[in-house]
Structure 1
Amino acid sequence: MAVLNSPFIGFIVIFIAALLLFGEMLVKSKGIFGLLGAGLFLLYFIYHLHRGSPLLMLGLLIFGLVLIIIDSKLITNGSVALIGVTLMILACVLPTPSALYGLAVAAAFILGTSCSFLFLKIFPARSYWSKLTFSDQLSSEAGYNAMNESHKALVGKDGTTETSFRPVGIVEIEGKRYSAITDGIWLKKGEAVSVISVDGTKIVVQKKAAGT
């Protein structure tokens, strides 16, 4: 595997590894994405064995992944997830033989992670996402409406994000609050959005373009 001496090949390997590993967290792939992504990371680390401890690198990678999962399930403000991503990037950068190589794999990791959200447009999302819709809090007493078929009337209507979207959150439309999801795009609280589709219990919103 001498080809891994090339920063370009390192970029490709880490990009695909991050794409698949985070894709496994987002969509139902029967574990295929996770196995392939983990295999590519392991191949990368084994090749760079002589440049540092593989246990340390794998430890940073796994610990970073755990922090991301903890943030998305318990904290949901992105702060711990940012630390996790940083640790995972360090795990990939530390064993590299040059600054150029390190920069290449860091960029590959960030790009691969970002592109993994595109899987949500192709594959069914994991039930994990439904846990982020706060369904246990969506009672009429709390000012929420249970999502049902009647929500199809919301298509085309405008609203405002009441929470940050990662990519699930709460949106207010005509004075009522609904759990909704974007097409993999993260939004901040207070942004203007419009409903683009309703599929069963899933309300999909997108950010309104400036001036519309």
Structure 2
Amino acid sequence: MEWLDQASVGFIVVFLATLFLIGELLVKTKGLFGILGLAFITLYFAHHIEGAASIWILALYAGGLMLIIFDGKVTGDGTFGVIGIILMSLSVAVPTPGILYGVLAVFGFLLGIVGALVFLKVFPRRGLWDKLTLKDKLSSDSGYNSMNESYKELIGKKGKALTAFRPTGTIEVEGERYSATSGGQWIEAGVDIEVVSADGTRILIKKMEQASQTSS
């Protein structure tokens, strides 16, 4: 396998190994990607490592892969995943015969991870990192609902237009400033207003009648 002595070939082999192994973690392919990935990485390590060194290099690679899986299934915050990527990068770089070869091997590894993301658009995805996605969604929904409720409490309250409305601007209600809309009505700055409705983050106001008009 003298052809694996070439840095460009090593780059391609590491890229394909990573592409399929990470792809196996991300999408459902009935183990096909896993088999292909293991075949390529076995070919790579079989050529570059031998003797006692093979044990710790393989342990480094396998340990990094396990950390990525652990991150996806348990923690889901990316911390262990990053550590795993670093360990796997070291494992493919250390046994290479030169600096250029090592750099290309690491680059092929990282490029393989990025390339594996394309599989998400083609194949059914697995549940890795769903916990993180769900957490972000719940946090976003919670923040939106909290803001929505606080804005609804403004309905019926009176305040002042801090800027001219044509038809959007800024109001002040009970010492707090809010962005609002007048629904097409032009309102000058300094005019007293009343909050008519609040739908999501959209606050609709109207101009209050002047005291003279009210008394009449």
Show CA shifts across 1:86-145 (max 9, x none).
1001110010000000000000000101110110000111244556555xxxxxxxxxxx
Counterpart CA distance in 2 for 1:88 and 1:169 is 33
Check 1:174–1:130 CA distance in 2 against 1; reply closer, same or farther (3 A cut).
closer
**Distance in 2 between residues matched to 1:94 and 1:79, nearest whole Å:** 23
- Deviations along 1:18-74, one digit per CA (max 9) or x if unpaired, are 000000001011101001101111110010124862222211111001111222222
Q: 2:110 corresponds to which residue?
A: 110
**Structure 1: which amino acid aligns with 2:58?**
L
Aligned counterparts of 1:169 and 1:110: Cα–Cα separation in 2:
31
> Who is 1:172 aligned against?
141
Identity between Structure 1 and Structure 2 (%): 40
Conservation of the 8 A alpha-carbon contact between 2:72 and 2:81: yes
> C-alpha separation between the residues in 1 aligned to 2:138 and 2:14?
30
Aligned to 1:75: 75
Structure showing greater radius of gyration is: 2
Q: Secondary structure at the match of 2:123?
A: coil
- Structure 2 contact 69–81 (Cα < 8 Å) conserved: yes
What pairs up with 1:1-212 in 2 under 5 angstroms? 1-50=1-50, 53-128=53-128, 130=130, 134=134, 163=136, 171-172=140-141, 175-176=144-145
Gaps of 5+ in 2: 147-216
Where structure 1 has 5 or more consecutive residues not aligned to the other structure, the ranges are: 135-161, 178-212
One-letter code of the match for 1:17?
A
- Whole-Å Cα distance in 1 between the matches of residues 94 and 119 of structure 2? 29
Structure 1 equivalent of residue 181 of structure 2: none
Letter aligned with residue 122 of structure 2: I
Contact 2:68 2:84 in 1 (8 A): yes
Aligned residues: 146
Distance 1:30 1:12 in 2: 24
Structure 2 length as normaliser, TM-score?
Answer: 0.61
Q: Residue by residue, what CA displacement relative to the aligned partner does 1:164-206 show, whole Å, maximum 9, x if unpaired?
A: xxxx8754399349xxxxxxxxxxxxxxxxxxxxxxxxxxxxx
Query: TM-score, length-normalised on structure 1?
Result: 0.62
C-alpha spacing 1:171/1:36, structure 2 compared with 1 (3 Å)? same
2:144 corresponds to which letter in structure 1? G
Q: Would the alpha carbon gap of residues 52 and 10 (structure 1) be closer, same or farther in structure 2, given more than 3 Å must change? A: farther
